[in-house]
C-alpha cells in the first residue's frame, strides 16, 4: 500500500506543484522559527541552509506522526554572498529588488523527506540561475502597489508580477516557484513513492 504523504508546508505554490504530479497528500504545518534557525546556521553554505530549513520543517511535522512520508521545503534567494529571505515590509522589498535589479542571482530550494515510521531522512537541494532586467523607478513604484511580494523569498514571484523582471532562467523553473519537481520526484522514489 502507498504510504500516506504529508506536505509540511503552508505555501499554496508548493501544494499546487505537488498536486500537479498527481499525488494525493495532506498538508500539516508545524511552527519553525526560520529567522532564528538562519541566525543559528551562520556557518552553513546557502545550499546547506536551504536543506537545514527544509529539514527543520519536515522534522517538526514528522515528530507528531507514527507513519507517513513527510515533505518539507525551503526556498532562498542568493545574491553574491547575501541571502535574501522574505521581506519585512515594502521598504525591505524595495531594497531587495534594487539589489537584484540588472543582476543574476541564484534561487536555491532545499527539500527534505522523512519516513515518519522508520525515521529515515534525506535532503536534496536544487539551484537555478535567474537574470533580472534593470528595474526602472516607475516599475518599482507600481510593483510595490500591485504585486504580492511579502510572502516571497527575494520579494518576487516568477509566476506572478515578478515575471516582468525575469529576463531568463537557467535550470529548473519549479525550483524558483518553491519546489524543484524533478529532484523532489527522484527523492520521493527513494522512499518508494510511486508517481508513474
Ligand atoms: C523566488 C520565489 C519565491 N516564491 C515563494 C516560494 C515560497 O513559498 C516562498 C519562500 O518561503 P519559504 O520559507 O521557503 O516557504 P513558505 O514560508 O512560503 O512556506 P513553508 O515554510 O510553510 O513551506 O517564496 C515564489 O512563490 N516565487 C518565486 O519566484
51 occurs within a structural domain: yes
Distance between CA 89 and CA 192 in Å, rounded?
42
| Average pLDDT of adjacent 10-residue blocks, the chain of 196 residues | 89 96 95 85 92 97 97 97 95 98 98 98 98 98 98 96 98 98 98 95
Domain tally for the chain? 1
Distance between CA 139 and CA 149 in Å, rounded?
14
Contact 106, 176 (CB under 8 A): no
196 occurs within a structural domain: no
155 lines ligand 1 (CB under 6 A): no
Compute the distance from residue 139 Cα to the ligand 1 centre, in Å. 23
139 occurs within a structural domain: yes
Mutation probe of ligand 1 site: the residue of 87, 88, 151 with most atoms within 8 A of C-beta? 151
174 occurs within a structural domain: yes
111 lines ligand 1 (CB under 6 A): no
Contact 147, 160 (CB under 8 A): yes
Query: 60: domain range?
Result: 5-190
**Which sequence positions are flagged as catalytic?**
74
Specify the residue with its C-alpha closest to ligand 1, atom 5.
152
Output the nine-digit C-alpha cell for 60: 517538526
Specify the residue with its C-alpha closest to ligand 1, atom 7.
178
Domain of 139, CATH number, reads 3.90.950.10
Output the nine-digit C-alpha cell for 55: 529539514
Distance between CA 175 and CA 184 in Å, rounded?
10
110 lines ligand 1 (CB under 6 A): no
103 occurs within a structural domain: yes
Compute the distance from residue 25 Cα to the ligand 1 centre, in Å. 19
195 occurs within a structural domain: no
> ipTM score here?
0.96
Output the pLDDT for position 1. 59
11 lines ligand 1 (CB under 6 A): yes
Q: Give exposure, 110-122, as e/b (b: 16+ Cβ within 10 Å).
A: bbbbbbbeeeebe
Amino acid at each position: 500500500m502507498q504510504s500516506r504523504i504529508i506536505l509540511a508546508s503552508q505555501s499554496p505554490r508548493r501544494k499546487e506543484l505537488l498536486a500537479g504530479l498527481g499525488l494525493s497528500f495532506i498538508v500539516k504545518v508545524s511552527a519553525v522559527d526560520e529567522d532564528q534557525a538562519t541566525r543559528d546556521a551562520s556557518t552553513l553554505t546557502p545550499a546547506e541552509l536551504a536543506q537545514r530549513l527544509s529539514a527543520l520543517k519536515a522534522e517538526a511535522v514528522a515528530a507528531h506522526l507514527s507513519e507517513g512520508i513527510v515533505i518539507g521545503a525551503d526556498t532562498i534567494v542568493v545574491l553574491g554572498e547575501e541571502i535574501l529571505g522574505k521581506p519585512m515590509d515594502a521598504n525591505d522589498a524595495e531594497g531587495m529588488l534594487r539589489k537584484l535589479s540588472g543582476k543574476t542571482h541564484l534561487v536555491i530550494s532545499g527539500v527534505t523527506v522523512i519516513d515518519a515510521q522508520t525515521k529515515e531522512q534525506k535532503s536534496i537541494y536544487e539551484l537555478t540561475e535567474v537574470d533580472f532586467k534593470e528595474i526602472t523607478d516607475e516599475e518599482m513604484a507600481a510593483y510595490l502597489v500591485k504585486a504580492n511580494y511579502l510572502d516571497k523569498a527575494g520579494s518576487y514571484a516568477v509566476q506572478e508580477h515578478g515575471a516582468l523582471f525575469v529576463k531568463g532562467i537557467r535550470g529548473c523553473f519549479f525550483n524558483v516557484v518553491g519546489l524543484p519537481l524533478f529532484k523532489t520526484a527522484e527523492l520521493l522514489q527513494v522512499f518508494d513513492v510511486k508517481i508513474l
